[in-house]
Structure 1
Amino acid sequence: MTGLLVAALALMVGGLGPALWISARGDAIRRLAGLQLAGVTTVLVLLVLVQAYGPSSAVILPLTLTVLAFAGTLVFARLLGSR
């Protein structure tokens, strides 16, 4: 279990930090890429934490987040395309 927690911490520091930095700076396309990276990293962190702590039914949350992140990206891309 300790290895899974170290993996989750490494994903948060190594993935969410740069993703938040990218999504806070630059033009709209770079921010969109940062949001995508943050969504993927969040899903991976949640899956690792479910493996460490939660019951197998808790996998529904990261899988739902995957679908919502993809839908959000489509909406954001559509808004960017209308400019």
Structure 2
Amino acid sequence: MIWLLGAVILMCAGLGPALYLSSRGDGIDRLVGLELTGAIVVLVGLLLAQGFAQPMYLIVPLVLALLSFAGTLVFTRLLGPRP
């Protein structure tokens, strides 16, 4: 039960500022918001998997952690200087 409460608190308190940051400002601010959102979603997924006592649900946040890192690399490539 405490895992699910932690997931709800993290979703309410963490995703709001992260989504606001990823929707405002210049490209670097949006990149930081994107990274923060990815990290929060991975943590929420881990807490939900633990809260529901389903170890097979752990695959989703772990794959998301790898894909969000790859997405950040693509996004920084698009933000870089043009030749």
Normalising to structure 2: TM-score of the pair?
0.93
Task: Tell me the residue number matched to 1:36.
Answer: 35
Task: Tell me the residue number matched to 1:10.
Answer: 9
SS at match of 1:15: helix
Task: Tell me the residue number matched to 2:66.
Answer: 67
Q: Indicate whether 1:51 and 2:50 are aligned.
A: yes
For this pair of structures, how many residues does the alignment match? 82
Computed over aligned residues only, the root mean square deviation of the Cα atoms, in angstroms, reads: 1.0
Counterpart code for 2:7: A
Task: Tell me the residue number matched to 1:25.
Answer: 24
Unaligned runs of 5+ in 1: none
Mapped to 1, the partners of 2:64 and 2:81 lie a distance apart of: 26
Unaligned runs of 5+ in 2: none
Q: What stretches of structure 1 move > 4 A for 4+ residues in a row? A: none
